[in-house]
Amino acid sequence: MPTDNLETVRAFCRQIQQAHGTAIEVRETFPTGKSGAFVALVDCSGTHDGVYVLKVDRLPADREDEESRHKRALSEGAFSGRLPEIVLSEKSSTHYCY
């Protein structure tokens, strides 16, 4: 995700704080992959305490969204059942965050 879209990440962090009672502080950002998603290791406090991976990207128009694929992989026991569940997710009209 280009750095000019960091406001989208900030908006999701505010939304998560309000909707889920969880404050997010970015610990480390990771290089973007093929999709250009924003991916970071974050410290969370509140309803969800701990260290998590935060991902923000555009909703795909031509394929199943990533959250649906993740849930399918969980139900199929992918990665020998060692795939972590998504703790929370939010969507806007153009982006997703989990």
Residue (of 36, 83, 28, 70) closest to 56 by Cα position: 36
The residues spanned by each domain of the chain are 3-97
Structure tokens at 30: 């990771």
**pLDDT attached to residue 92:** 93
Give the domain 3-97 fold: Phosphorylase Kinase; domain 1 (3.30.200)
Using 50, 70 and 90 to split pLDDT, how confident is the model at 67?
Answer: confident
Helix (H) or strand (E) run with residue 10 in it? helix 6-20
Least trusted range by pLDDT, from 2-6, 31-35, 49-53, 90-94: 2-6
Check whether 44 has a pLDDT greater than 70. Answer: yes
Residue (of 74, 44, 70, 45) closest to 57 by Cα position: 70
**pLDDT attached to residue 61:** 87
| Residue indicated by tokens 């889920």 | 20
**pLDDT attached to residue 4:** 52
Helix (H, G, I), strand (E, B) or coil at 57: strand
Check whether 3 has a pLDDT greater than 60. Answer: no
